[in-house]
Chain A
Amino acid sequence: MTGFQLEIQLTAIIVAAACALPGTFLVLRRMAMMSDAISHAVLPGIVVAFFLTGNLSSPLLIVGGTATGLLTVVLVEAMRRTRLVREDAAIGLVFPALFSIGVILIARFAGDVHLDIDAVLLGELAFVPFDRWVVAGVDLGPVGLYATGVVGAITGLFIALFYKELKLATFDAALCAMLGFMPTMLHYALMGLVSATAVVAFDAVGAILVIALMVGPPAAAYLLTDHLHRMIGLSIGLGATAAVAGYWVAHVLDASIAGSMASIIGLEFALVFAFAPHQGLFSSWHRRRLQRWEFARKMLVIHLLQHEGRPEAVRECRVDHLQDHLQWEREFAGHLIRQSELQGLITREGVYLHLTAKGRSIAQEAMVS
């Protein structure tokens, strides 16, 4: 592994972590599509700031991009408040317009400089090591690494400082407002951080991967835990893993790094979606199956208890009667009876079924609760 490769992966990991932090809150607050809107809408701000400074690594670009990112949030909110369009439509109207302005500005006035449309949309992580920060002749490393590092650190600091408030605003906005924590201010602060993160990540990974990194790892983490701090940690871990794995996949296939990172995130999510311990597809399928058996077993012992020692018991407590009365398939009923016998809930005597003491107590308990 060369120094360049190390730098690229390090940058990718930091970008992934910086995106996962605000992304967690976007996913929890059902505003994941704002990452789509903001990551596109920062473009005109970046372009205008670039025209003003003439320098692609000026910090003013972050300021400009954050400004148009926040403008998107304000415009969407304003349009929603007129009640003429719904929120989803408002998002779908605002960001394509802002993005179009950015693209046209680039195409008309900056076609020749190193700010071309493809790079903006797709990012080029592989170029990160070429833009270096040199102070007094000493090479301190790629600029992109520092930019993402600083923004990520600020986001982390903000979340650490306002953790309690953010948690409250996310899960109970009304209570948050009532206690005087200003959820609106928190909202705009968070959106500002999303915008700043989008700007620095933009240069490295492009607009679309920003969405993948902000939404994918937190969504997967959401299926793995019920704790906010664990969700943040897991998101960062999943994002960083995808960053490194994506880099090597791209290296092998000789394809887009950003694209393969997004693909790995998709793969991670698919795996979590299928195999997550509690929320996964398989575990919920398994749980439903267990519940079905559990329920059937209870039905059986309750049924037997109801008719136990009564004249109709001869008729009701027969194996074949279960099929008619409880409408169980023959196979299902047979399996259930064998299982219940093994567990010592019932005993079998020819075609007749009897409750054991244990079965009786379970039936009584089930009927009470």
Chain B
Amino acid sequence: MDFITALLEDYTLRTVALGTALLGAVSGALGSFAVLRRQSLLGDAISHAALPGIGLAFLITGSKYPLILMIGAALTGWLATAAVMVVTSRSRIKYDSALGLVLSVFFGLGLVVLTFIQKLPDARQAGLDAFLFGQAASLIERDVVTMAFLGGVALLLLLVLWKEFKLLSFDLEFAQSLFLPVRALDLMLTTLLVMAIVIGLQTVGVVLMSALIVAPAAAARQWTDRLGIMVALSMIIGAGAGVAGSLLSTESSRLPTGPTIVLCVTAVMVVSLMVSPARGILWCRLRRRHRNRQLRQEALLLDLYALAGQHRDRFHAHDESVLIIMRATRASVRKPLTALAERGWVRSSGLAKWSLTQAGVEESQRLMRERAS
């Protein structure tokens, strides 16, 4: 409770929370498309490739104004995706190699530029290092306004071209057959992804920004099969994890922001993978167990019915050992039989002997009909 009042009253905290919520939401939205289009690792390449842009922008303009650094970052990030596209389309180099190469070479260039800047007799460069791992505490109002502006533009464009981007992501051939400008749209969506990444660099850092592209989207994907809901959920998860992580890291000076946000969003991801109702690992396992149990019970009931057919008295009691032999497995038959008894379909007639009830006979006949059809 104290924390919430602190959040409402403390100006710095509010700025930080607002900024990280923003970047989480924007990267969540654009990340959804990246994940669906199997470009999860492109985000990693773009974010690493932003480093030389930041350095060069500072070197050329001498300014640390966020918009200028972001433009620099966006330019080299965009150049990196173009390089990946050219290398993969003009040679036999595969996508993964092109990504790895572009990522590391651009980052290396960035390091050269940064170390070069650090040697300059100019104190203003302090703080450029923060772009490696991010520093939420360094966010000030000016940064948040820039982020809001760029993020707002990106989200607006996403909304305007929603239908086209949806088609592009799910059915490229159909989009082509409608004479949509597929290449231009692809370029546009990639540019928006670059913008989303650039917005987060100051807070999360170039090294880990890719996680904020992939994880919220992958988590949201588990809860829904509809794109609109997925993007909305991904935005909420990204924003939530961003705020949680940045606040945790401002609480303790020994928690770097980027990694803390990444761990928050990874936690959401793992929980989603486990417990989402339709696809979650836990539910799937439970459902499979339930289904197996049901199948075992039905099989036993039908076995009893088949045995009963050998007698004039349909309610003749049979020994468990016979049922075990019929099942040809060593699995216990008592548990499923007890479950069947609870439903009133079989009756225990003393020592390990079981017989059908009237309801059980009817159920067996119903099952037989069902399986015959």
Quick check: A100 and B104 within 8 Å, CB to CB? Answer: no
Docked CA distance A177–B166 (Å): 40
A178 CB to nearest B CB, Å: 25
CA distance A219 to B88 in the complex (A): 11
B163 an interface residue at 8 Å Cβ cutoff? no
Q: Are B256 and A92 in contact (CB under 8 A)?
A: no
Within 8 Å of chain A (Cβ to Cβ): is B90? yes
- Provide the bound-state CA to CA distance between A279 and B91, in Å: 7
Q: Is B369 an interface residue (CB 8 A)?
A: no
Max chain A C-beta neighbours (<10 A), residue from B109, B214, B221: B214
Residues of A within 8 A of B129 (CB): 118
Instruction: A121 to B104: give the CA distance in the assembly, Å.
Output: 12
| Residues 93 to 122 of chain A near chain B (Cβ within 8 Å) | 93, 96-97, 99-101, 103-104, 107-108, 111, 117-118, 121-122
B93 CB contact (under 8 Å) in A79, A108, A223: A223
B259 touches A216 (CB 8 A): no
A117 and B133 contact, CB distance less than 8 A: yes
Task: Tell yes or no: B211 within 8 A of A by CB.
Answer: yes
Task: Tell me if B112 and A263 are in contact (CB < 8 A).
Answer: yes
Closest to A253 in B: B116
State A107–B252 Cα separation when bound (angstroms). 11
Q: Point out the residues of chain A lying under 8 angstroms from B258, CB to CB.
A: 100, 103
Are A96 and B105 interface neighbours, CB within 8 A? no
Q: Are A216 and B101 in contact (CB under 8 A)?
A: yes
**Judging by beta carbons under 8 Å apart, are B133 and A103 in contact?**
yes
B196 adjacent to chain A (CB < 8 Å) = no
In Å, the complex CA distance between A258 and B40 comes to 26
Q: Which residues of B contact A121 (CB under 8 A)?
A: 132, 207
Task: Name the CB-closest residue of A to B116.
Answer: A255
Contact A212 B104 (CB under 8 A): yes
| Least Cβ–Cβ distance between A88 and chain B, in angstroms | 4
| CB under 8 Å from chain B, chain A span 200-259 | 208-209, 211-212, 214-216, 218-219, 222-223, 250, 253-256, 258-259
A314 contacts B by Cβ under 8 Å: no
B361 within 8 A of A: no
Q: Which of B111, B132, B211 has the most CB of A within 10 A?
A: B111
Contact with B along A177-190 (1 / 0, CB 8 A): 00000000000000
Q: How many residues of A contact B (CB 8 A)?
A: 61
User: Are A31 and B90 neighbours in the complex by a CB distance under 8 Å?
Assistant: no
Which segment of B146-154, B260-268, B296-304, B330-338 sits at the interface?
B260-268
- B239 to chain A minimum Cβ distance, whole angstroms, is 18
A97: which B residues are within 8 A, CB to CB?
211, 262-263, 266
B112: chain A residues at CB < 8 Å are 250, 253, 255-256, 259-260, 263
* CB of B371 within 8 Å of the partner chain: no
CB distance from B23 to the nearest CB of A (A): 15
Are A223 and B101 interface neighbours, CB within 8 A? no
- A266 CA to B115 CA in the complex, in Å? 18
Contacts of A262 in B (CB 8 A): 104-105, 107-109, 111
Question: Which single member of A92, A104, A214 contacts B100 (CB below 8 Å)?
Answer: A214
For residue A82, CB closer than 8 A to chain B, the reply is yes
Chain B contacts for A111, CB-based, 8 A? 254
Q: Is the interface of A mostly helix, strand, loop or mixed?
A: helix
Q: Which residues of A contact B254 (CB under 8 A)?
A: 107-108, 111
Q: In the complex, how many angstroms separate the beta carbon of B254 from the nearest chain A beta carbon?
A: 5
What distance in Å separates the Cβ of A203 from its nearest Cβ neighbour in chain B?
16
Residues of chain A within 8 A (CB-CB) of B115 are 254-256, 259
B119-135 CB mask vs A (1 if < 8 Å, else 0) is: 10000000001001100
Cβ 8 A contact of A266, one of B97, B108, B255 = B108
Which residues on the A side are within 8 Å of B140 (C-beta)? none
Q: Which of A30, A104, A258 contacts B94 (CB 8 A)?
A: A30
**Minimum C-beta distance from A87 to chain B (A):** 9
* Known A27-B97, A111-B254: A279·B259 in contact at CB below 8 Å: no
Give A86 to B222 CA distance when docked, in angstroms.
Answer: 12
Q: With a CB–CB cut-off of 8 A, which chain B residues contact A265?
A: 101, 104-105, 108
Task: Pick the residue among B39, B104, B262 that contacts A215 (CB under 8 A).
Answer: B104
* A281 touches B (CB below 8 Å): yes
- B279: min CB distance to chain A, Å: 6
Known: A33-B99, A92-B210. A103 touches B259 (CB 8 A): yes
Chain B residues, CB < 8 A from A92: 40-41, 43-44, 210-211, 213-215
CB distance from B2 to the nearest CB of A (A): 24
The CA of A218 and the CA of B98, in the complex, are separated in Å by 11
Q: Hey, which chain B residues are within 8 Å of A215, CB to CB?
A: 97, 100-101, 104
Q: Is A35 an interface residue (CB 8 A)?
A: yes
Known: A82-B281, A93-B215, A255-B116. A32 touches B108 (CB 8 A): no
Closest A residue to B208 by CB, please name it.
A96
B262-A263 in contact (CB<8A): no
- A269 at interface by CB-CB < 8 Å: yes
With A82-B273, A256-B115 in contact, is A91–B40 under 8 Å at CB?
yes
Question: Is B103 interfacial (CB-CB < 8 Å)?
Answer: yes
> CB of B218 within 8 A of chain A?
yes
* Chain A residues with CB under 8 A of B317: none
**Measured CA separation A218–B111 after assembly (Å):** 22
| Residues of chain A contacted by B311 (CB below 8 angstroms) | none
The complex places the Cα of A88 from the Cα of B95 at a distance, in Å, of 11
A273 on interface, CB distance cutoff 8 Å: yes
| CB-CB nearest 6 A-B residue pairs | A262-B108, A259-B111, A266-B105, A100-B259, A96-B211, A212-B104
Residues of B within 8 A of A (CB): 35, 38-41, 43-44, 48, 87, 90-101, 103-116, 119, 129, 132-133, 207-208, 210-211, 213-215, 217-218, 221-222, 254-256, 258-260, 262-263, 266, 269, 273, 279, 281
- A-B contact sample (5 more), CB < 8 A, given A86-B35, A97-B211: A36-B99, A86-B38, A89-B217, A108-B254, A219-B101
Chain A interfacial positions (CB closer than 8 Å to B): 27, 30-33, 35-36, 40, 79, 82, 84-86, 88-89, 91-93, 96-97, 99-101, 103-104, 107-108, 111, 117-118, 121-122, 208-209, 211-212, 214-216, 218-219, 222-223, 250, 253-256, 258-263, 265-266, 269, 273, 279, 281, 284
6 A–B contacts from the bound complex (CB under 8 Å): A92-B41, A215-B104, A216-B101, A256-B112, A258-B108, A259-B107
